[in-house]
Every structure is written in C-alpha cells, then in structure tokens.
Amino acid sequence: MAEQDAQTADQGAKVSGGVRPLTTALKTLELLNFFSNQSSPTRLADVARENGLSRATAYQRLITLVEAGWLDQDTNGAYRLTMFATRLAAAALEQADLGTRVEPVLGRLANRINETVSLAVIDRGLPCIVARVEVNTPLRAEQRIGTFLSLDGSASGRVLCAFAQEHALEHLRAGAHSLPSEETMQKVREDGFAVSSGYTHSGVIGLAVPVFDAHQKIVAAVSLVQPEGRFDLALTKAPMIEAATEISTLLQGTKDRK
C-alpha cells in the first residue's frame, strides 16, 4: 500500500494545543520540497515513482498545488515550481533578515572560541558584513555591520569567489574589483576554507568558511579576524566549519523539527 489513509496517519501527527495538523496537507506540501530539488520539470509518473505514491494520489496532490499557485505545467505536461515561491522567499527575508536568523549560531560560535565573528554576503560586487557578534577581547578588528571587504585580500572575499558558480564569478570579474588569483581560489576549494593575506589590515589574519543553500550554491561566509599573535587555525577551524554547516542547514530549511 503506497500510503496510509488520512485517519491512520493522523494518529502519528503532532498535537499543538490539542489540535492536530492536517496530515493530508503536510503530505501535499512535502512535494514542494521534492520540486525544490529538481533541476527541470518533472512528469507525473516520475513524481509518483520517486515519492512512493500511486499515480492517482500523486496527481491529486499535484493539481492541488497547481490550483494553489505553487506549480504549473510546461508545454510537455511536466510539472514545475512557479515564481510564487520567489515571492514567499522574498517575504521571508524581509520578515526575518539573514542576520537575525543566524545571530544565535554566531553567538554560540563567538562564545565557544572567544572571538568576534561575522557573516558576509556579496553586495554590489563586494563582500559585506550583514551580521556580527562581538566578544570583549583586548584586541579586535573593527568591522561593523555594513562594512565592505576586499574580494582579493579578505578571507570572506576569497571564500565567496572560490565557491561562486561560474556565471556569478564572471559577473564579479566584469566588475571594478580585483579577484583572488585562480591558484588562491583553487587552494580555498581544496581546503574548504580561506585564510586572509593580512595586507588589507596590517597585523591581523582572517579565517572564513562557506555557507551553502539547498542547491549547494554559496550564499555567505562565516569569518573571524584576529591579531596575528592570537591566530590559531587548529583551534578555530573546526568550530567555524560546524557553525557554517549549522547556518547552511538553517537556511536550507532542513533543520530537524522537534
């Protein structure tokens, strides 16, 4: 049997304030996650097979999502997400901006390594700090939210360039700012992190690791900047990578729901 009926499935549903969620609605919405991982429109038979559904059940859920505006069909009859999804994504970013969402993770990271940490994204062709959590260390680099960094010289810039998709990298190359050398970017890809040159801010060294979305596209970089005398890659690399992975999971919407 491809699936339980709604009454049986409801027995396993969570209860919130004495009210159970609509299991049929949850199962229909699960198809949105399926489509978010497809690179091209998908036909009914493939949707049914890959989700363990009968063709009739798959079709009912698909037309429900079509009627709600989430899916449409191409000229060959295959199903695909509509641009309605982008409207909700934009609204989500507006209602709870990236910095706000990741601040708790950055806070735990800062406390763990006792260093000020930041999150940077590409904005107008340069890395820009959009979130920051400070700790009271004797010496720290002053990089406020909204600070723009170097593509070539900063650790964040090197990570954001190294893991950028080719079309995004070409766009950056066409801009007015110097990019890291191909040798530098290749090393960053191999290492999975970047260390800054130190020449943009004398006496300090930066470390940055990538944050990816659900399609493994880089969206941000978690970074720290330390005085050279305090910099210790062995102590900070693992916590930084763990925090970046947690942020990636959060942004991908795959965090376990309790």
Q: How far is CA 119 from the centre of its chain?
A: 12
Question: Are domains 6-87 and 96-252 of this chain identical in fold?
Answer: no
Q: pLDDT-based confidence at 31, cuts 50/70/90?
A: very high
- The predicted pLDDT at position 135 comes to 81
- The predicted pLDDT at position 246 comes to 93
Average pLDDT of the segment spanning 220-237: 88
* Domain 6-87 in CATH 3.30.450.20: no
Letter for the amino acid at 80? R
- The predicted pLDDT at position 97 comes to 60
Higher pLDDT, 196 or 142: 196
Largest Cα separation within the chain, whole Å, is 67
Average pLDDT of the segment spanning 203-224: 90
Tell me: pLDDT of 58 over 90. Answer: yes
- The predicted pLDDT at position 56 comes to 96
Tell me: pLDDT of 194 over 50. Answer: yes
DSSP character string of the chain: --S--HHHHHTTS--BTTB---HHHHHHHHHHHHHHT-SS-B-HHHHHHHHT--HHHHHHHHHHHHHTTSEEE-TTS-EEE-THHHHHHHHHHHHS-HHHHHHHHHHHHHHHHTS-EEEEEEETTEEEEEEEE----SS-----TT-B--TTTSHHHHHHHHTS-HHHHHHHHTSSSPPPPHHHHHHHHHHTSEE--SSSSTTEEEEEEEEE-TTS-EEEEEEEEEEGGG--HHHHHHHHHHHHHHHHHHHHT-SPP-
> What is the homologous superfamily of the domain 96-252 according to CATH?
GAF domain (3.30.450.40)
Between vectors from CA 33 to CA 32 and to CA 36, what angle results, nearest 5°? 85
The residues spanned by each domain of the chain are 6-87, 96-252
What is the overall mean pLDDT for the chain? 83
Tell me: pLDDT of 141 over 60. Answer: no
Q: Would you state the structure tokens that stand for residue 183, as one six-digit string?
A: 């040798």
Report the 10 Å Cβ neighbour count for 202: 7
- The predicted pLDDT at position 7 comes to 42
